């Protein structure tokens, strides 16, 4: 998805050096239940509870105590995603961390033993803090906090303001824009303010033709305002005539982009990929960003998300998130990729990444580079021509030498380097660049990523393993694109699209995301897509059985522990393991065993971050 939150002429963002504020050093290896580590964790937890007991007794009772056990009455319904003990009946939380997992009698016995050990050490009795026990509902399960490895948070918030994805024609989309203009207080106060929206999808309209400025101009109210609407895939924008007039004259062509024109050569109002930068929009105000952020956080935690990898900060959004981190006002974990602008001065050797700010809730240690465009808009770079447009193979958005040099510089300076690559030619060229740049570099320390990896050859899958590059993929793209992808690629080549099974079977690392707002932010939609490769109604244009499916265990790991690895957090997040942060989700149904058709009706009952409910209750 294009990183085009605003199209001013400012330079790329430059993160400011900042030390991690999370001083906790959790263990990377889970301990057996009788291991000294568990006893030490219990002892320290119990000491804290004793010290706080007198204070707590003078306060109003709290709904959830500092230390508690969360258990299932009916057996091991906590899916830990820890290979040492994949399922458990109970987990014990102390403060912001997990301190034990096991059967209910075991965790209570160890808790009591830790109190006795303290009393023996200090040689006098103390009031014993009782380990409160909460039980999940019958039929429900607990899983680790879910991460989205590739989303665009503020764009998602913008998409909620004008629900363009619901429109099934340009006329319907225009009506939604009119409704927004008529109701938005900020637009009423400032009629010159740009009207921005996100999510139109011409592939779902009759004829699948791009919309035009004339479509927007057909409404008198919409025609009066400056209107800039981003496509669902983020690789095209649609503007009205007022905006077209203000940015004219336009160049004849744009490297790595397309100005869509009519038969007479006149611009129609749609700009693809790099051509989008011709449309300059003022950066959003702080109030704009607050409105968008509130919407995305509300939806994220209600869907069980505890962490989001934001796939491309621009200068304004980076400063916004840094401000929230400094004020410790981040209700969710954010792992940021900073957008690379090849026309700006290189900054990777001038500043240091931000790691673990706001008590572990904010990190910006990655750079995001665009290789090619999107399959939906015909910009994905393919080895062979498009089946429905033999005149083109798509295009790369960046020169190959610039790509190789840039990757080398960022890796040399300690940045995780993530490259958007959709088409098979783009993936080959990006892996060529990685292969050259990674010579002599500790790959595990830097963990480069291919963002999307939608069409990838078998030989390049083997190179993923050889080079240690992570495939960051989005299962919901597979079921969203399958209705037009065969037209683009043909009946044989389409079989190599979203080849998740093959990627895993080759031994490559991968991680799952949504690319929201391009697709649904709800991770259960991604889980369903990954394990079925079917549309929500159970159908597929390729037949009743989906291909390249993942197992449920692989899909759950791809949404929990794999994203933790991809963001350097495998020692603190991603599984329900003693010593890790207490991020977890309570689901209304057992998605690991229920019939596939019931997965999408599963509800999130509670989302906990650092042991405290961010959504629902325990």
Tally Cβ neighbours within 10 Å of residue 51. Answer: 12
Token representation of residue 416? 């995780």
What's the mean pLDDT in 143-164? 96
Interatomic CA distance for residues 438 and 115, integer angstroms: 51
51 pLDDT above the threshold of 60: no
Q: Which CATH class is domain 371-559?
A: alpha beta
Look at residue 217 in the predicted model and tell me its pLDDT: 98
Q: How far is CA 338 from CA 160, 311, 467, in A?
A: 23, 8, 23
pLDDT digits (tens, 9 = 90+) for 198-234: 999 998 899 999 999 999 999 999 999 999 999 988 8
pLDDT band of 1, cuts 50, 70, 90: low
20 pLDDT above the threshold of 70: no
Tell the CATH topology of 31-144+576-618.
Answer: Urease, subunit C; domain 1 (2.30.40)
CA angle 496, 499, 505 (to 5 degrees): 125
Lowest pLDDT segment from 451-465, 481-495, 560-574: 481-495
pLDDT digits (tens, 9 = 90+) for 154-178: 999 999 999 999 999 999 999 999 9
pLDDT digits (tens, 9 = 90+) for 286-302: 999 999 999 999 999 99
CA-based torsion, 429, 430, 433, 435: positive or negative:
negative
Look at residue 124 in the predicted model and tell me its pLDDT: 66
pLDDT band of 26, cuts 50, 70, 90: very low
> To the nearest whole percent, how much of the chain has pLDDT over 70?
89
Altogether, the residues listed in the chain come to a count of: 618
Pick left, alpha or beta for residue 270 (phi over 0 → left; psi -120 to 50 → alpha; otherwise beta).
Answer: beta
CA-based torsion, 544, 530, 576, 561: positive or negative:
positive
Question: SS3 for 171?
Answer: helix
Tally Cβ neighbours within 10 Å of residue 47. Answer: 17
Q: Where are the domains of the chain?
A: 1-21+146-366, 31-144+576-618, 371-559
50 pLDDT above the threshold of 50: no
More confident residue, 539 or 45: 539
Token representation of residue 307? 């962490």
Look at residue 325 in the predicted model and tell me its pLDDT: 97
Question: SS3 for 41?
Answer: helix
Please give the helix or strand (H or E) that residue 216 lies within, else none.
helix 213-217
pLDDT band of 541, cuts 50, 70, 90: confident
36 pLDDT above the threshold of 50: no
Tally Cβ neighbours within 10 Å of residue 417. Answer: 27
What value does the mean pLDDT of the chain take? 89
Look at residue 53 in the predicted model and tell me its pLDDT: 38
Interatomic CA distance for residues 479 and 308, integer angstroms: 22
508 pLDDT above the threshold of 60: yes
Look at residue 403 in the predicted model and tell me its pLDDT: 96
Interatomic CA distance for residues 517 and 521, integer angstroms: 7
- Check if the beta carbon of residue 559 is closer than 8 Å to that of residue 523: yes
Interatomic CA distance for residues 275 and 44, integer angstroms: 58
pLDDT band of 22, cuts 50, 70, 90: very low
Look at residue 193 in the predicted model and tell me its pLDDT: 95
Mark out the alpha helices in 286-338 (DSSP H runs).
286-302, 315-326
pLDDT band of 383, cuts 50, 70, 90: very high
Look at residue 220 in the predicted model and tell me its pLDDT: 97
57 pLDDT above the threshold of 70: no
Look at residue 238 in the predicted model and tell me its pLDDT: 98
For 391, residues 6+ apart whose C-beta sits below 8 A from its C-beta are: 385
pLDDT band of 119, cuts 50, 70, 90: low
What's the mean pLDDT in 548-565? 98
How far separated are the first and last CA of the chain, in Å rounded? 37
């Amino acid at each position: 998805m294009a990183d085009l939150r605003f199209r001013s002429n400012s330079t790329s963002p430059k993160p400011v050096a900042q030390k991690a504020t999370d001083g906790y050093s959790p263990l990377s290896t889970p301990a057996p239940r009788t291991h000294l580590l568990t006893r030490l964790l219990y002892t320290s937890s119990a000491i804290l509870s004793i010290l706080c007991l007198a204070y707590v007794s003078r306060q109003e009772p709290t709904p959830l105590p500092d230390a508690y056990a969360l258990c299932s009455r009916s057996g091991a319904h906590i899916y830990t995603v820890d290979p040492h003990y994949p399922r458990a009946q109970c987990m014990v939380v102390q403060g912001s961390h997990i301190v034990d997992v096991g059967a209910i009698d075991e965790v209570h016995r160890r808790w009591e033993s830790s109190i006795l050990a303290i009393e023996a050490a200090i040689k006098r009795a103390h009031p014993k803090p009782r380990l409160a026990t909460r039980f999940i509902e019958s039929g429900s399960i607990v899983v680790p906090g879910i991460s989205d490895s590739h989303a665009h948070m503020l764009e998602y918030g913008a998409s909620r303001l004008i629900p363009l994805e619901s429109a099934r024609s340009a006329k319907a989309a225009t009506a939604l824009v009119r409704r927004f203009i008529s109701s938005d207080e900020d637009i009423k106060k400032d009629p010159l303010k740009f009207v921005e929206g996100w999510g139109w999808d011409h592939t779902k309209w009759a004829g699948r033709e791009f919309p035009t400025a004339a479509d927007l101009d057909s409404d008198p109210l919409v025609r009066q305002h400056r209107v800039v609407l981003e496509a669902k895939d983020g690789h095209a924008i649609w503007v009205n005539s007022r905006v077209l007039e203000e940015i004219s004259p336009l160049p004849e062509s744009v490297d790595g982009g397309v100005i869509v024109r009519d038969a007479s050569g006149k611009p129609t109002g749609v700009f693809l990929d790099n051509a989008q930068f011709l449309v300059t929009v003022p950066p959003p105000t702080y109030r704009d960003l607050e409105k968008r952020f509130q919407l995305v956080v509300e939806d994220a935690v209600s869907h069980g998300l505890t962490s989001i990898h934001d796939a491309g900060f621009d200068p304004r959004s980076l400063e916004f998130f840094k401000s929230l981190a400094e004020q410790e006002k981040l209700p969710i974990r954010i792992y940021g990729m900073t957008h690379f602008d090849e026309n700006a001065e290189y900054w990777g050797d001038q500043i240091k990444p931000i790691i673990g700010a706001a008590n572990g809730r904010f990190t910006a240690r990655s750079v995001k580079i665009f290789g090619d465009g999107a399959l939906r808009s015909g910009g994905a770079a393919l080895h062979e021509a498009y089946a429905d447009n033999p005149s083109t193979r798509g295009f790369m958005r960046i020169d190959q030498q610039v790509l190789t040099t840039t990757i080398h510089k960022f890796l040399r300076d300690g940045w995780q380097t993530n490259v958007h690559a959709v088409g098979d030619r783009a993936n080959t060229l990006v892996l060529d660049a990685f292969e050259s740049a990674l010579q002599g570099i500790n790959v595990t320390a830097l963990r480069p990523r291919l963002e999307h990896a939608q069409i990838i050859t078998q030989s390049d899958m083997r190179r993923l393993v050889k080079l240690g590059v992570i495939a960051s993929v989005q299962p919901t793209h597979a079921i969203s694109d399958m209705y037009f992808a065969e037209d683009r690629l043909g009946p044989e080549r389409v079989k190599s699209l979203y080849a998740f099974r093959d990627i895993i079977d080759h031994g490559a690392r991968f991680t799952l995301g949504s690319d929201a707002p391009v697709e649904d932010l709800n991770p259960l939609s991604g889980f369903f897509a990954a394990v079925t490769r079917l549309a929500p109604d159970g159908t597929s244009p390729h037949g009743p059985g989906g291909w390249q499916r993942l197992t449920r265990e692989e899909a759950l790991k791809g949404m929990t522990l794999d994203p933790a690895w991809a963001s350097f957090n495998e020692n603190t997040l991603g599984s329900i393991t003693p010593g890790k942060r207490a991020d977890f989700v309570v689901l209304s149904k057992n998605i690991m065993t229920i019939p596939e058709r019931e997965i999408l009706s599963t509800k999130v009952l509670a989302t906990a971050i650092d042991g405290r409910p961010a959504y629902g209750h325990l």
